[in-house]
């Protein structure tokens, strides 16, 4: 695996590879890598000639400074894991490399994606995600970008970004990897103790139960039941349990039996904010 810290050098290398006809698969991450990330890398390897992973904890996407400061950092282990996986190139920029002096933040027209669900509870978050992914796409210029479905809304936002900026990059969404308990793999799980990790499996169990009860008509009571059961199980806060249109993420109050739906959750356990989702139809 080749390590690049400077975007100019990386760019030169990748332009050469692209000119040789090699397709570039790109997996952007914030490090603290787990099996879910490695699954993205393996999928990227299956579908591309060369796989590049980036590790950059992007300060502009954290609306909570404490969350940024406590974001897990396991860089030595990350490098070992990537070396053992199929990753060909690691891009490890510093903040100055991504946001050089004189960098002017764009504003991205994300429409309602910015005001619903994660957009509502994490103001500014998706602008920050777009800033960094825009910079990374401009440097890497990948044929395909690989993202995890666990961040359902982020996938939709980045699809919008690709469209807005007319990048010649395809987005490939990779299914969520789960622990045996059903807990969605996430770097944030590292901040949970063993007992809490077991407890956190209730999120996926709740969404699965909701799915089993779904029928046309009013759907809000299903969400309220899951929220209530999580609070009773010891989760300290529920930002949302929501059933939304799978294409637009607009909340659905009453299901017509046809519209494709997704159920999404954002909850706090022992001070850690966890998100998950499952397609319902
Ligand atoms: O999902 C993440 O890890 C981050 O939001 C991303 C896409 C790497 C941008 O910082």
Q: Do domains 2-174 and 187-279 have the same CATH topology?
A: no
| Residue of 37, 107, 125, 209 marked active site | 37
Q: Which residue has the tokens 């210029």?
A: 141
pLDDT band for position 92 (cuts 50, 70, 90):
very high
Residues 6+ away with beta carbon under 8 Å from 39? 174, 177
Per-residue model confidence (pLDDT) at position 189 = 96
All structural domains of the chain with their residue ranges = 2-174, 187-279
Ligand 1, atom 2, residue with closest C-alpha: 29
Quote the percentage of the chain above a pLDDT of 70: 100
Average pLDDT over residues 15-34: 98
Mean pLDDT, residues 221-231 taken together: 98
The mean pLDDT of 161-186, rounded to a whole number, is: 98
Per-residue pLDDT, 86: 86
148 lines ligand 1 (CB under 6 A): no
Q: Return the CATH fold of 187-279.
A: 3.30.1300
**Catalytic residue status for 37:** yes
**CB 129 less than 6 A from any atom of ligand 1:** yes
The arithmetic mean of pLDDT across residues 12-37, rounded, is 98
CA dihedral 107, 41, 279, 71 (to 10 degrees): -60
The residue whose C-alpha atom lies closest to atom 8 belonging to ligand 1 is 29
Choose one of 151, 157, 177, 273 to mutate for the ligand 1 pocket test, by most ligand atoms within 8 angstroms of C-beta. Answer: 151
pLDDT tens for residues 51-61? 999 999 999 99
Listing from the earlier edge strand, what are the strands of the sheet with 261-269?
A: 237-245, 261-269, 272-279
The structural architecture, per CATH, of the domain 2-174 is 3-Layer(aba) Sandwich (3.40)
CB 56 within 8 A of CB 93: yes
Radius of gyration over every alpha carbon of the chain, rounded to an integer in angstroms: 19
Decide: 144 in ligand 1 pocket, CB within 6 A: no
pTM greater than 0.85 (yes/no): yes
Tell whether the model's pLDDT for residue 63 goes beyond 90: no
Mean per-residue pLDDT of the chain:
97
**Residue of 26, 33, 129 with the most ligand 1 atoms within 8 Å of its CB, for mutation:** 129
């Amino acid at each position: 695996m080749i390590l690049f810290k400077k975007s100019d050098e990386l760019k030169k290398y990748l332009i050469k590879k692209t000119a040789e006809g090699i397709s570039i698969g790109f997996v952007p991450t914030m490090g603290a890598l787990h099996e879910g990330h490695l699954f993205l890398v393996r999928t990227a390897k299956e579908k591309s000639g060369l796989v590049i992973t980036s590790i950059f904890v992007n300060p502009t996407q954290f609306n909570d400074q404490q969350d940024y400061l406590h974001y897990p950092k396991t860089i030595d282990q990350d490098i070992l894991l990537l070396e053992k996986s199929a990753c060909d190139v690691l891009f490890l920029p510093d903040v100055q490399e991504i946001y050089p002096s004189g960098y002017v933040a764009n504003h991205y027209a994300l429409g309602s994606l910015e005001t619903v669900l994660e957009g509502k509870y994490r103001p500014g978050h998706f602008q920050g995600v777009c800033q960094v992914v825009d910079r990374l796409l401009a440097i890497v210029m990948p044929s395909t970008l690989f993202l995890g479905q666990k961040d359902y809304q982020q996938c939709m936002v980045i699809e919008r970004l690709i469209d807005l900026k007319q990048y010649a990059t395809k987005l490939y969404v990779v299914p969520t990897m789960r622990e045996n308990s059903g807990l969605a793999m996430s770097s944030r799980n590292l901040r949970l103790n063993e007992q809490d990790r077991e407890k956190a499996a209730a999120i996926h169990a709740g969404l699965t139960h909701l799915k089993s009860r779904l029928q046309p008509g009013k759907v809000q009571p299903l969400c309220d039941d899951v929220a209530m059961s999580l609070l009773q199980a010891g989760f300290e806060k529920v930002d949302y349990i929501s059933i939304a249109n799978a294409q637009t993420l607009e909340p659905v109050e009453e299901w017509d039996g046809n519209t494709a739906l997704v159920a999404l959750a954002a909850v706090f356990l022992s001070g850690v904010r966890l998100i998950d989702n499952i397609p319902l139809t």
